[in-house]
């Protein structure tokens, strides 16, 4: 996720229907829920006609919709960098360059390379730890604080049920590659996660869990994607006590990308939408709304200094020093990681049932 997935709060596949007064067939954007500023949608529609968002709640649902894009009639899609390159190479996305998208000149070269030739970088972030500052004597600094929490935090921790991101804290703590194919290293990560299991409140994603108001109060610390702390604070009765840190022993730099479906009948409008969203002032507004960094380096000029600093817009180089990147895993690796996750879940369930 992205992993970036990071921000869908228990949503289901949903269509936002356009008003009946619009005669034109809408442009359709496949997106996470609440991942584009409503103000910008309204501004786009006033000048260009209806934009209909189609929501997905998992990478698997998104990929299935893209594979059957003709039936679902989606034109523009939000994807992670892995899918952008894989589906682009498979001929599912339109190839993009500065002749088609002049606004690409505003994108950091690092992010352009990550999204490849078939998608435009959108928003980016990190993997880290969200925590309640009223429950911790001092802020966490390492993944060890999540894997081996203090006594008062045990039983109040959330992890991410994902075959890459659940293992990430343990692999970082051990000093291993996020994408390791080494069975011995993965086994060591499994042992750490097995020890951690008794401290876990839930493996449900923190934002989804937080919607359960009567249970949210029991959550004190969680593995999350940067920006999610703002949503946790919005859901919390006591605003501002959820904080976020990037652990000193490593993180993931993720990026979400915008791609145009090659079979779309609205390629001209789709290109116009991407150019609009990547206009520096628009990208700045969208980043401020989402509380997530934009890949548009020119947008910094339209952001206040505090926002640019908080979102990491000025810290990309320093983050790169300790960050790793997602890459496509072999089928055998994915199968082993899924086996590890299932085993951890079973251990957790058995401990809770006793």
Summarised one tens digit per residue, pLDDT across range 167-198 is 999 999 999 999 999 999 999 999 999 999 99
What CATH number does residue 304 fall under? 3.40.190.10
Residues 9, 103, single domain; the answer is yes
The mean pLDDT of 76-102, rounded to a whole number, is 96
Residues 49, 61, single domain; the answer is yes
Whether residue 99 has pLDDT greater than 60:
yes
Whole-angstrom distance, CA of residue 230 vs CA of residue 119: 27
What is the 3-class SS of 107-156, one letter each residue? ECHHHHHHHHHHCEEEEEEEEEEEEECCCCCCCCCCCHHHHCCCHHHCCC
Residue 286 or residue 319, greater confidence: 286
The mean pLDDT of 243-249, rounded to a whole number, is 95
Give the dihedral sign, CA 204/231/61/246: negative
Residue 321 or residue 185, greater confidence: 185
Whole-angstrom distance, CA of residue 13 vs CA of residue 315: 35
pLDDT band at residue 4 under the 50/70/90 scheme: very low
Residues 99, 137, single domain; the answer is no
Number of structural domains, the chain? 2
Contact 298, 107 (CB under 8 A): no
Residues 143, 59, single domain; the answer is no
* Domain assignment of residue 205, given as a range: 126-252+326-353
Residues 182, 115, single domain; the answer is no
Predicted TM-score (pTM) above 0.75: yes
pLDDT band at residue 306 under the 50/70/90 scheme: confident
Residues 222, 147, single domain; the answer is yes
Phi then psi for 218, rounded to 5 degrees? -90, -5
Q: Which of 76, 128, 120 is nearest to 255 (CA)?
A: 120
Whether residue 10 has pLDDT greater than 50:
no
Residues 82, 137, single domain; the answer is no
Strand partners, 251: 323
- Range 21-48 burial, b when 16+ CB lie within 10 A, else e: eeeeebbbbbbbbbbbbeebbeebbeee
pLDDT band at residue 55 under the 50/70/90 scheme: very high
Whole-angstrom distance, CA of residue 317 vs CA of residue 282: 24
Q: Packing angle between helix 331-353 and helix 183-196, nearest 10 degrees?
A: 20
Residues 222, 259, single domain; the answer is no
Angle at CA of residue 153, ends 192 and 324, nearest 5°: 45
Whole-angstrom distance, CA of residue 203 vs CA of residue 220: 14
Residues 283, 342, single domain; the answer is no
Beta strands at 157-158 and 200-202: parallel, antiparallel or unpaired: parallel
Whether residue 20 has pLDDT greater than 60:
no
Residues 26, 45, single domain; the answer is yes
Residues 261, 117, single domain; the answer is yes
Residues 112, 100, single domain; the answer is yes
């Amino acid at each position: 996720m992205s992993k970036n997935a990071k921000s869908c709060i228990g949503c289901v596949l949903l269509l936002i229907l356009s008003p009946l007064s619009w005669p034109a067939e809408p442009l359709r954007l496949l997106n996470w829920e609440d991942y584009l500023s409503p103000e910008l949608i309204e501004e786009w529609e006033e000048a260009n006609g209806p934009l209909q968002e189609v929501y997905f709640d998992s990478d698997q649902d998104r990929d299935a919709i893209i594979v059957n894009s003709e039936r679902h009639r989606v034109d523009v899609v939000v994807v992670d960098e892995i899918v952008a390159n894989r589906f682009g190479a498979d001929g599912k996305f339109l190839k993009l360059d500065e002749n088609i998208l002049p606004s690409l000149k505003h994108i950091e070269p690092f992010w352009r390379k990550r999204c490849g030739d078939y998608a435009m970088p959108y928003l980016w972030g990190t993997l880290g730890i969200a925590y309640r500052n009223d429950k911790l004597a001092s802020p966490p600094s390492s993944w060890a604080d999540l894997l081996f929490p203090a006594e008062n935090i045990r039983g109040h921790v959330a992890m991410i049920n994902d075959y890459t991101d659940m293992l990430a804290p343990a692999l970082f703590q051990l000093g291993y590659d996020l994408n390791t194919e080494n069975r011995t290293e993965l086994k060591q990560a499994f042992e750490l996660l097995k020890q951690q299991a008794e401290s876990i409140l839930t493996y449900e994603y923190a934002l989804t869990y937080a919607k359960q108001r009567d249970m949210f109060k029991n959550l004190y610390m969680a593995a999350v994607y940067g920006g999610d702390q703002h949503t946790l604070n919005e859901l919390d009765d006591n605003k501002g006590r959820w904080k976020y840190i990037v652990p000193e022993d490593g993180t993931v730099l993720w990026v979400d990308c915008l791609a145009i479906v090659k079979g779309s009948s609205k390629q001209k409008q789709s290109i116009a939408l991407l150019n609009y969203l990547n206009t520096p002032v628009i990208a700045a507004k969208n980043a401020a709304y989402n509380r997530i960094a934009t890949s548009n380096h020119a947008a910094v000029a339209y952001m206040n200094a505090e926002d640019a600093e908080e979102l990491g817009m000025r810290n990309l180089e320093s983050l790169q020093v300790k960050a790793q990147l997602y890459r496509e895993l072999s089928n055998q690796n994915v199968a082993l990681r899924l086996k590890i996750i299932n085993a951890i879940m079973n251990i957790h369930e058995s401990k809770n049932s006793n």
